[in-house]
Structure 1
Amino acid sequence: MHKPKLQSDGFLPRAIAVRFFLVGLLSISLGACSTTQVLSSSQANQTRSLQEQVQLVGRISIQYQQNDQAQTASAGFEWQQAPQDLHISLSSPLGQTIATIHENAHGARLEQAKQEARTASNIEQLLADSLGWSIPIAGLKGWLQGFDIQANGKAIAIPVKDYVALQSQGWQLQFVSWQADTGVIHPKRIDLQRHTEELGEVKIRIVVDEWK
């Protein structure tokens, strides 16, 4: 199956940018762009629960190998999560909407301007059908809140400490920093890494800019 080639250079053509997002969910400069509020010990130790309704805005980057050369691509995203519904909006570094992805009980749908919509039974299947491999969307539903959801559905709270590392769903994760927004304690930055046949060593960085 023919797989699209990714491009770097920040501002991505629409079709390529969508595929980049589907392949991996912040450029190298993200760490310099973000500021993190230092949490008090009482905040770090407070009881947390997995929320059913989540809305946040952030940035994402992926580093990968193509033709034996290191590549980097980046995008902004808005994530709106409900128990049976997930909506993701992808934007270019200049703030232009590139595509929207929606998943509910009926399946997943990807839409972008001037192109036919693509559908599948779920987002991860949509990614696999489009690119031949997928990313852990199901995992991100918990990780973005600071939880790891087990195979039995149990949500395990990740300790609110900088640089906490764990393995889940075939990924190496590091919760680099945390922040409090509107009374909610959540990860500020998450790094993911795994080896793939398609893109070699893939490194993903997610920074949450705003929790709504």
Structure 2
Amino acid sequence: MPQFLQVALLATLLTLTGCSSFTTSEQPPIPQINSWNDHQQQMALLTHWELSGKIGIRSPQDNQSANLFWQQQDQKYVIEMTGPLGQGGARITGQPGHIQVSIAGEGDFQAGSPEALLQDTLGWSVPVEQFQWWVRGLPAPDSSFQQQMNNNRLDELMQDGWHVRYLRYKQHDIYTLPSKIRLSRDALSITLIIKEWTPLH
């Protein structure tokens, strides 16, 4: 075989090999979940975690977006939003019965009702205690709900007047967790894109 044909063939094989490897690494398969009960039990045990990503809020009054960091330690949480949403940043810390919102340049605000405080300080609100469950792909306990499933994972959830749609999941360590969620109630729509999940031990 002429030398230039050998070189061309080798280059073609290397190109095909490289494309195949790239496609495999970029699209890892999500493991099949054996049952919804198994998935619920595994997610319920994930009580200490961090996530980072972006949040977008659409309402009749305004459209906002921000970078998001959320740390959950059992029932205690710290949620930080930076970027256009808070004109420098907003930090939410809380636990059952108490919440504090700190806004850059404005100070600290406290209340016993997370929803009322978020509405007063940020202009929008989510049920934070339920959201801790929804973000893991679970319905919140002690409240009635309706759900639609897909491959033993939540596809849609209707609870406490909110419609939660799970648009994408991603594998993180041993957990299959939501990576894109959209929440809506009345004219408010919140989209959460999660780039990284980190279980804390």
TM-score normalised by structure 1 residue count: 0.65
- The answer to whether structure 1 residue 149 and structure 2 residue 172 are counterparts is no
- Relative to structure 1, is the Cα distance of residues 42 and 113 closer, same or farther in structure 2, using a 3 angstrom cutoff? closer
Q: Which residue of 1 aligns with 2:131?
A: 140
Superposition deviation, residue 124 in structure 1: 2.1
Q: 1:149 to 1:97 in 2, by over 3 A?
A: same
Q: Give the C-alpha shift of residue 167 in structure 1.
A: 0.7
Name the CA shift for 1:185/1:73 in 2 (closer, same or farther; >3 Å): same
Cα offset for 1:43? 7.7
Unaligned runs of 5+ in 2: 1-25
1:116-135 equivalences in 2 (<5 Å)? 116-130=107-121, 134-135=125-126
Q: Aligned-residue CA RMSD in angstroms?
A: 3.4
1:170 & 1:126 partners in 2: Cα distance?
19
Identity of aligned residues (%): 24
For 2:189, the equivalent position in structure 1 comes to: 203
User: Would the alpha carbon gap of residues 160 and 88 (structure 1) be closer, same or farther in structure 2, given more than 3 Å must change?
Assistant: farther
Displacement of 1:44 in angstroms is 8.1
Which structure: larger Rg? 2
Specify every segment of 5 or more residues in structure 1 that has no aligned partner in the other structure, as ranges: 1-34, 196-200
Q: How many residues align?
A: 167
Alignment partner of 2:31 out of 37, 40, 55 = 40
Q: 1: distance between equivalents of 2:165 and 2:101?
A: 29
Q: Which amino acid aligns with 2:138?
A: F
**Counterpart contact for 1:162–1:178, Cα < 8 Å:** no
1:170 partner amino acid: G
Mapped pair 1:64 → 2:62: no
C-alpha contact 2:33 2:152 (8 A) present in aligned 1: no
In structure 2, the residue matched to 1:191 is: 182
Worse overlay, 124-133 or 84-93: 124-133
The TM-score normalised by the length of structure 2 is: 0.69
C-alpha distance in 2 between matches for 1:171 and 1:65: 17
Aligned positions of 1:43-192 closer than 5 A: 47=39, 48-50=42-44, 51-66=46-61, 71-92=62-83, 98-104=89-95, 107-130=98-121, 134-151=125-142, 164-192=155-183
Structure 1 residues 192 and 36, CA gap change in structure 2 (3 angstroms) = farther
Question: Is the deviation greater in 139-148 or in 110-119?
Answer: 110-119
CA contact (8 A) 1:119 1:126 kept: yes
Higher relative contact order (CA 8 A, sep 6+): 1
Distance between the aligned counterparts of 2:64 and 2:175, measured in 1? 30
Q: Which amino acid aligns with 1:49?
A: M
Hey, what's the Cα distance between the residues in 2 that align with 1:36 and 1:194?
Answer: 33
Q: Deviations over 1:100-149 (max 9, x none)?
A: 11113572111133322111114223224446863121221001111101
Q: Answer yes or no: is the 8 Å Cα contact 1:191–1:204 preserved in 2.
A: yes
